[in-house]
Amino acid sequence: MHEFVTAFLIFSAKYLFVAPIIILGTHFLLQPRSAKGPMVRFALPALILTYAVGLIGNHLYFDARPFVVGHFTPLVAHTPDNGFPSDHTLLVSAIAAIGFCWNEKLGGILTAFALTVAVARVYVGLHHPVDVIGSMAIATVVTSAVFVVSRYVARQDLI
């Protein structure tokens, strides 16, 4: 059982971030044409700003990766750079937050993926918990702010 869990978490740490992209993309494609414009006007700025805030966080806070500090070989090969924030967790968390703003059930499913990626990245030795928790917080706060602003702009008919 332990080997299965380890293999699943290694897979999750490396590749699971792709599934939420496909799920959210499919959800988007299945929407009526009239809904796609507002979705893009919300999702694109949310993703770009989340990434930008993540870059700023990377420059403001340095957290050496666990395998560097602990002098061990991680289960997934990685360069010994700054571990904050976790890019994989940041992306999947932003996608989950966007999905939640569009559809709560979809957001809940995508959040499960985000949590799995976060746990996996810690388990394989690539990140400390602060790296993935910080990533989730950045994605949630930025996406929520963009959602509020995009709803305001839409009500004002500014775009």
* Each residue's pLDDT expressed in tens, for the chain with a length of 159 residues: 799 999 999 999 999 999 999 999 999 999 999 999 999 999 999 999 999 999 999 999 999 999 999 999 999 999 999 999 999 999 999 999 999 999 999 999 999 999 999 999 999 999 999 999 999 999 999 999 999 998 888 787 655
- 152/159 Cα distance (integer angstroms): 11
Tokens 């990685």 belong to residue = 78
Q: Return the pLDDT at 102.
A: 92
Rounded to two decimals, what is the model's pTM? 0.94
Task: List C-alpha distances in Å: 115 to 25, 94, 154.
Answer: 19, 12, 31
